Amino acid sequence: MIGRIFFVEVRRTAALWFGLGLAFAAALLTADPERWDGAWMATVLAHHAGLDLLWPLALAAGAWQGRRDHAAGIADLLAATARPGWARVAPQAAVVAGCLAGGYVGGLLDGLGRALLAATYHPPGWYWPLLAGSLSIAAAGLLGLGVGRLLPSRLTAALLALGGLAAVVVLAIGSADSDRPVLLLGPAYLGDTDQYSIVDTRVVAGKLVWFAALAATGFALYAAGGRRARLLAALPTVVGLVAALALFPPPGAAVRPDPQATALVCTDEAPRVCVTRLHEPALAQIVEPARRALALLSRLPDAPTQVVEEPSRHGTPVVQRRDSVHLELVVYGDGTVITGQQSIEDTILDGAGTWACGAAADDVAGWEPIQAARAAAGLWLQGRDAGPDEFWPPVQQMVVDALAGLRALPPDEQVARVAALRAAALDCRPDLYDVLTGS
């Protein structure tokens, strides 16, 4: 009997089409040809980030459906029936919420299927952001139903979509550069995430409480038969807001690194080459170029003996070890490895096997001599000159001049200069160009 009621509601409403449309929109927002299919958590997080646009759409879909009885001219007739309001509207509310939440989940199926085939590491707890996102979409649909029944105008859906989008934007802008938990009330924000992240359980719990409260308010508003009931419908939102803010950690503590994803997987033979467990399928691509680079670096005193992938984000401080080259990897959509230079070997030899540091990220003038010195050291180790326009104009001439001055020195002095640059780069000093040129 219940199944038949739901089947009838699916046929009577546009909820199924709304769900299919939401699934299509979610899939478009999640798709990224540059993201490696094996980045399981990155795919889930990209899907969740689309909620900033999907949430207002779900709100509008609910509002459009909420005015159905008014548009059909039967709102007063249904209100006069003996059935309680909540029992009468529950099937339609369940169908709308279920179709929208199902559409949201369906938009991730392609990405999860690809990840299942390509990934060797499946992160724990990847489903929590998906669950929180599904509940937020269902809550948006129910809230839209309530508002649509309360204000059954043709413009309500459009205005609600614009209002929902404006609320998301204002919340993000108003809380930017702050560590206030209110930022986590937004449907899409989970913290400063990346592919190595695990979302804190307090964030998930707070979002589940918050969106469950919004869903309860939406349903209560949709079922309300009088002014008093409509006023009381706001109570779950107030309680949920207080509870969610009590549960939320500061946004800076909303995510933490996944120790299993950052664990190293290394070759058995020396010299050792290691990548994170997340990028284990890419290990075979970097072994040979990494070992060629280590062979060239062996000309230097106290040379590194291994290449290790560094999971820290670009521009963040890295504790460099003298026996290791710390390498940042990006795996492209087709599974190929990108390192930021023309080749993996070039990247490892840049700066004589050191991490790029020594200036603030936005200090262009400070980076120019650092980049020139690092590039000159790498070219010297490879025994080649800088190609025409290989670097941007201010750096190109500095590289040419540094190489010419370095090669004019006796061989032992050349080695000593590059070794000195490596030592300075390990300490993130900004005077690499002066060290290399002897200025």
Over residues 190-235, the pLDDT tens digits come to: 988 888 889 999 999 999 999 999 999 999 998 887 788 888 889 9
Structure tokens given for 351: 């700066």
* pLDDT at residue number 88: 66
Residue (of 68, 102, 433, 125) closest to 256 by Cα position: 125
The alpha carbon dihedral of 73, 79, 80, 84 has a sign of: positive
Q: At what angle do helices 156-174 and 51-66 cross, to 10 degrees?
A: 150
The alpha carbon dihedral of 76, 78, 83, 86 has a sign of: negative
How far is the C-alpha of 230 from the C-alpha of 223, rounded, in Å?
9
Cβ-count burial of 282 within 10 angstroms (0-12 exposed, 13-18 middle, 19+ buried)?
Answer: buried
Output the CA–CA distances (angstroms, integers) from residue 403 to 151, 238, 417, 432, in the order listed. Answer: 73, 67, 11, 13
* pLDDT at residue number 33: 80
Judged by phi (left if over 0) then psi (alpha if -120 to 50, else beta), residue 428 lies in left
Decide if pLDDT at 236 tops 70: yes
Question: CB under 8 Å to 63, separation ≥6 — which residues?
Answer: 144, 145, 147, 148, 156, 157, 160
Return mean pLDDT, the chain. Answer: 87
The pLDDT of 279-289, averaged and rounded, is 92
The pLDDT of 54-69, averaged and rounded, is 86
The pLDDT of 250-270, averaged and rounded, is 90
The pLDDT of 131-135, averaged and rounded, is 96
| Higher per-residue pLDDT: 123 or 37 | 123
Output the CA–CA distances (angstroms, integers) from residue 320 to 231, 271, 307, 378, in the order listed. Answer: 60, 18, 12, 18
264-266 vs 197-199, strand pairing mode: unpaired
Decide if pLDDT at 8 tops 90: no
Decide if pLDDT at 81 tops 70: no
Residue (of 259, 352, 266, 249) closest to 306 by Cα position: 266
Cβ contact 92:189 at 8 Å: no
- 3-state class of 235 per DSSP? helix
Output the CA–CA distances (angstroms, integers) from residue 153 to 54, 56, 58, 221, in the order listed. Answer: 22, 17, 17, 16
* pLDDT at residue number 202: 95
How far is the C-alpha of 123 from the C-alpha of 107, rounded, in Å?
20
| CA torsion angle 11 62 53 242 (round to 10) | -140
* pLDDT at residue number 4: 62
Quick one: what percent of the chain has pLDDT higher than 90?
52
The pLDDT of 54-70, averaged and rounded, is 84
